[in-house]
Each structure stands twice: as structure tokens, then as C-alpha cells.
Structure 1
Amino acid sequence: MNIRSQFSHENSKVQSSLKSGMGTDLVYEPSVWWYEKLLFLVPHVKNRKSKTTLDSMEIETDVENFQTSEETEETSDMSSASILHDTYSKRQKKRKLNRDKTSDPIMVETIQTLKSLENRFNRPQTTLSKTEIDIYAKYIANELKEIHDEEIFMDAKHAINNIIYNIKKKLFEVEAAKKD
């Protein structure tokens, strides 16, 4: 629970004790030391509406007491008490929200993105993975480090670059042929 929530909780206790009709001596005093320092938040904190079952529980108790202590009363009094009991004991049923899952464009886009990511990860990889390329590059680098003659080193680099160039050129030609 964050500080704002704790402050709101303490403030609601204070406000409810003020509304209860008790004397000023019985007003709830917050148990946290920083409550008074955060009183500037009162205009900015909005309490959510909540449903209380306290009233229905009090009336149910009153009705039960009425029925046990006044069993000899007329049946009309009993029926009015049971009607009162039924009225307050019924709880509001929760409603399910029927949302059309496709009506929210953000949800649709999110679902499509997640599906495309799933498809991408489930595809078998036909190319070399990054780690394989890194391992091979380190191997070539280590081999080149063992060449101490500058001219031979330059010839090796030139040969490797020519091989890579020729492979890229062939790939480019194949791609161009596919487009035609």
C-alpha cells in the first residue's frame, strides 16, 4: 500500500468518526505520525464509492431481535418485519460486461502483434544464428592474430574480403533474377 492510499484510509476513518455523531473527544486519531503533514492532499484525494453491507446487517439483527422477543405479536407485524428483512438482505448482483473483443482497435492490434511474434519465434531458423557467426568471426580473428608478417596479413585480409564480395555479388544476382 502506498502512502497516498494509507493517507486516504486514515482520512476516511477520521471523516467517518466525525459523521457518526460522537463527541469531539471520541473522534478517531490517526495512528501514523505523518498524517497531519499530508493534510494538504485532502482536496486532491477522492474516495471511491463503496458498497456497504453494514446497514443490512444492522437491520437483519434488529429484525431477528424483534422476532425472538415479540413472538406473541400479530402475524401482520411479523410479515412487515420479514419484508423489511428481505428488502435489506438482497444484494445487488454483479453484472458481467459483454465486450466485443474485436471492437477495441488497440486490443486487436496487440493481439495481431503477439501472434506475429509467436509465429516468428516458432519458425525454424534457416540462417546461421548470431552466436554461430560470432564464434566463426572470433576464430578468423584468432587465426589472423597468428600472422606476424605484415604483407601476408594484408594478403589474407584481401583474400577474405574478395571471397565475401563475390558471395554477396552472387546473392544479389540471385535476388535480382527472382524479381524478374
Structure 2
Amino acid sequence: MTPTALIVPASAPDTDLPLEMPGGAVSSAAPGSSLTMSGSGYAPFSEVTLAVYSTPRVLGKVTADSEGAFETSIAVPDDLTLGTHSFVAAGVDENGEFRALRLDLTVAASSDDGLLPVTGAAVLWVIVAGFASVVTGVTMRRFATDGPLGRHRGRPGRPANPGTRGSERRGSHRIRPSIPE
């Protein structure tokens, strides 16, 4: 059977057949961005029409290869309203029957700063808080074992080396004044 010319339906076809995204799953796109789509199961060398729905708008046409497959890039129209839209690849199969693949995605505004969207907690602040906690803990432990004037080494209330005086424990030497004769 020879494939017939396709008339784009007035509403998005109700189909469970997915329009593929070779670069990986996509759930949203910005107006003006480019989407690469692919599909198969069409009549060899037949014309496949790519359209977007809320109101049907043809985005382009592509010719299926000898296996009935295609891959092409389309631009999301700049003036497409924000919200959920259906992108459809419509054509005919080997038997001349209507075949449609569909991808529903959200058209959302893009940020102009060129940065990726930020999700989750601000990791930098978690790192700063952790570092501050460690410094506070080290400082508190130092004062708890040494005291504010460095009087104790070892367990509180006991000298580190029993029988030694404080100045000898710290390794300092006491200088005795010499008395002239």
C-alpha cells in the first residue's frame, strides 16, 4: 500500500507511543531552545510531520529512512505559551495507517544568567557551619584541660607529673638571680 498524505489532527493524538529524545529524558524546555527527537515505525521514506499542541502548530517535516525511522532537531517556538504542551511526530506506518508518537513536556522560562538551577541546600553553608563547630570544640577542649592560664596538663585537678612544679612541667627553667658578694 502506498502511504497517503497526512493531515495534522486538530488535537493531539491520544497515544502511548513515546516520541524519543536520543540525548536522554526531557521533562521541560525553554522557548527558543532546541530539542532532538527520534522515532520509528513509519513507512520507509515517508514524510513525518512534527507539531506542537495546545493549538496545533507544525514545527517541521522530516523524511523517514529506509527502516522507517527518523532523528531531527526542532526549535521550541519563542512565542509558545508557558505550560504543558504535547510534541507529536505524525505520519503513516507501512500499512498506510496513521501513526503518531507523543512527548508531553513543560515549556518553562529559562534563566538568562546561563547557570544551572540551584536545588537542595546550600552546601557551602553546611561546610562553614561544620568547620566552625570543629574549631569551637577544639577551643573548648583546650580550655577544659589546660584552663584559661594553662595550669593543668592531664586530668583536671592533678598535675601531669606528680612531684614537679608548674614551671618545670612546662619545660621552662627557673633562673636564679646571682647575688654579688
Alignment TM-score, normalising by the size of structure 2: 0.18
Q: Report which structure shows greater RCO (CA 8 Å, sep ≥6).
A: 2
Bigger radius of gyration = 1
Alignment TM-score, normalising by the size of structure 1: 0.18
